[in-house]
Chains A and B, each alone.
Chain A
Amino acid sequence: MSSTQFFAFVGVALVCIAMHSLIARAHLLRKILAINIMSSGVFLFLVALAWREQTDLPPDPICHAMVLTGIVVAVSATAFALGLLIKFNTLTGATQLNDAQQ
């Protein structure tokens, strides 16, 4: 297995782990972290694929640009989610979403 494939598989594995904990864990902070890890997995996958094997070409800069943009988006989304969670927690004292309340 080449290192490109290895890192791509690690990226996919991270997405799967994150998906599991997003569904299985009830605590909102864990869910937000899970989404964060999921994006890291996707970014790792993209960066791994940027490497062009068996050529002298440098790694693909478009992938890097995409990951940079993605990181900016992920950071803002996480900050927003954490802000909402803090407000939710101060108002209700809860750290989980109640499935019955809709």
Chain B
Amino acid sequence: MSITELDATDLAPLLVLAPILGAAVALIFRRMATTVSLLTTALSALLVVALSCVISQNGAANIVAGGWPKAFAISLYVDGLTLLMLAITGIVGFFVALYAKDYFSKTPNETFWSVYLLLLAAINALALSRDIFNIYVTLECLGLASVALVVSEQNEKTLSSALRYLMAALVGSMLYLFGVAFLYHNYGTLNIDLLSNAITHGPVTYTAMALMVSGLMIKAAIFPLHFWLPAAHSSAPAPVSAILSALVVKASAYLIIRLWLDLFSPLSVPMFAELLSLIGMVAIIWGSIQALLQTRLKLLIAYSTVAQLGYLMQGFVLASETAWQGVIYIALSHALAKSAMFLAAGNIRHYSGDDRIGNLNEVIRKLPITMTAFAIASMSIMGLPPSSGFIGKWLLLEAALTEGRIFQAVVMAIGGILASAYIFKVIGHAFTPGETAQSQQRVTPIMSWTTMALALLSILAGFSANELLALFSVAMNFPGAA
């Protein structure tokens, strides 16, 4: 069967079903768990590729499951933004699974694989869902699976950060559900399409918007609600940190953008957009400065995520097509580059049993591929050409300057400079002499090369910007300047 004969109706539900089935099989047949999980993640990545081909040919797809009327049905929807979320989940999910196979080979964890697959299923379902209540359910699945992954190595640090994370996640989804209750009571539907036709100005809509967006901001760790992120992301095992930073916070940020573009932006509430953008600007500066102050590598990378999430908040106020394309590219490049950086940090910690930045010069010489991958991925975070991060930041800067928002442009530029500062704080150690550390655990070739693959992808994505932007903008309705 050729790809053109396939239909989005066949492919999209499989992206949710396959990982769930894989999780069940991995839980029952624990000996096969690793193999089953690798096959499932590979299958999901292939499904995303097939779905991208179908969508780029046929346009956005609306899938209504079960034959119920649209107001109650479980409906799935695929457009460019959905594809972006599915694509980063497919790619990062596959490479991190490969990495985790070797990372956990010495300390096998019975349930890691099924929880991992459930997490991927939850993100896929969240991206595809077109129903604000189903989104709540997927948010909860995602939150619980993420916390369960944080405690896949149990010690005082992971348990305390997991508890903090779990409570933040639960409060976030409760606030979101509260907002859903307001919207449903006022408009009598949960379907995003029907809601966007019906939605009007008014106190109920504004209350719902404030509740849903603030709930999601807790989960997306948007400043100043990021208090749980550094501890959770830095104490978790490396593959988990990579998934949390690359995908999980992005899933909530994706929802804020989705709800904004589909529901709230036609209402045009400039004050709210200004507020989000201001919060994002503070996040860029604050996160970067905190990253610069850290003495441990994983904490530095975690704070860098807080800063990079600030860039995603810049689209709301610029509201032009260029700005949203910039946001799309930053999301893509951050997912690839940040997962590579966390995996690199994992290799370093695996090798030396330590991730103090001051001790790095002892390790770096022994892990040339890892260090190169870290440097390559850093180019994306700093926004150096020709990386994908450069494209994203360039588009955002262009949009800001076109609209005469000089202050915003300056803040984004300063964020780039601060990013170079904290990256060079790490890379500088590659050039200083030091004792060679004793190896604690072997870093396998797969662990080095999966890190490298993600880092290289973050650069390569910068070379095909036109094609990728065309794909990720399918059927997107970017509102014109407010």
- On A, residues with C-beta under 8 Å from B are 15, 19, 22, 28, 31-32, 35, 38-39, 42, 45-46, 49, 62-63, 66, 69-70, 73, 76-77, 80-81, 84-85, 87-88, 91-92, 97-98, 101-102
Residues in B neighbouring A76, C-beta threshold 8 A: 144
Q: A22 CA to B171 CA in the complex, in Å?
A: 9
B398 within 8 A of A: no
| Extra 10 A-B pairs, beta carbons < 8 Å, given A38-B174, A77-B166 | A35-B171, A39-B174, A45-B181, A80-B147, A81-B166, A84-B147, A87-B159, A88-B156, A91-B155, A97-B160
Within the assembled complex, what's the spacing in Å between the Cα atoms of A25 and B159?
Answer: 19
Residue of A whose beta carbon sits closest to that of B179:
A42
Measured CA separation A69–B137 after assembly (Å)? 8
Which residue of chain A has its CB nearest to the CB of B160? A97
| Chain A residue at smallest Cβ distance from B157 | A101
Chain B residues, Cβ within 8 Å of A73: 137, 140
List residues of B (33-49) whose CB comes within 8 Å of A's CBs.
none
Known contacts A42-B181, A45-B178, A80-B148; A102/B231 CB under 8 A: yes
Please determine whether B137 and A84 come into contact, CB atoms closer than 8 angstroms.
no
Nearest-Cβ distance from residue A54 to partner chain B, whole angstroms: 15
Known: A38-B174, A102-B231. A87 touches B154 (CB 8 A): yes
Chain A residues whose C-beta falls within 8 Å of the C-beta of B181 in the assembled complex: 42, 45-46, 49, 66
Tell me the smallest distance from the CB of B189 to a CB of chain A, in Å: 9
B175-186 vs A: 1/0 string, CB under 8 Å? 001101100110
Contact-residue size bin, chain B (C-beta under 8 Å from the other chain): 35 or more
Residues of chain A lying within 8 A (CB to CB) of residue B167: 22, 31-32, 35, 81
- Min CB gap A24→B, angstroms: 14
* B interface residues (Cβ-Cβ under 8 A, vs A): 72, 133, 136-137, 140, 143-144, 147-148, 151, 154-157, 159-164, 166-167, 170-171, 174, 177-178, 180-181, 184-185, 190, 230-231, 299
Q: List 28 A-B contacts (CB under 8 A).
A: A22-B167, A35-B167, A38-B174, A39-B170, A39-B174, A42-B174, A42-B181, A45-B178, A45-B181, A49-B181, A49-B184, A66-B180, A66-B181, A69-B133, A73-B140, A77-B143, A81-B170, A84-B159, A84-B162, A84-B163, A85-B163, A87-B151, A91-B154, A91-B156, A91-B159, A102-B161, A102-B230, A102-B231
Q: For the complex, give the distance between the alpha carbons of A35 and B160 in Å.
A: 17
Say how far A43's CB is from chain B's closest CB, in angstroms: 9
CA distance A45 to B174 in the complex (A): 12
Which of B72, B156, B299 neighbours the largest number of chain A CB atoms within 10 Å of its CB? B156
B8 to chain A, nearest CB (A): 26
Smallest CB gap from B139: residue in A:
A73
Residue pair A35, B170 in contact (C-beta under 8 Å): yes
Instruction: Report whether A28 and B163 are in contact in the complex, using a CB–CB cutoff of 8 Å.
Output: yes
Kindly report which residue of chain B lies nearest to residue A61, judged by CB atoms: B72
CA distance A84 to B166 in the complex (A): 10
Q: Tell me if A97 and B164 are in contact (CB < 8 A).
A: yes
Known: A35-B167, A91-B159, A102-B230. A84 touches B144 (CB 8 A): no
Interface contact A97-B163, CB-CB below 8 Å: yes
Distance in angstroms between the alpha carbons of A28 and B166 in the assembled complex:
12
- Judging by beta carbons under 8 Å apart, are B177 and A42 in contact? yes
- Give complex CA distance A3, B161 in Å: 42
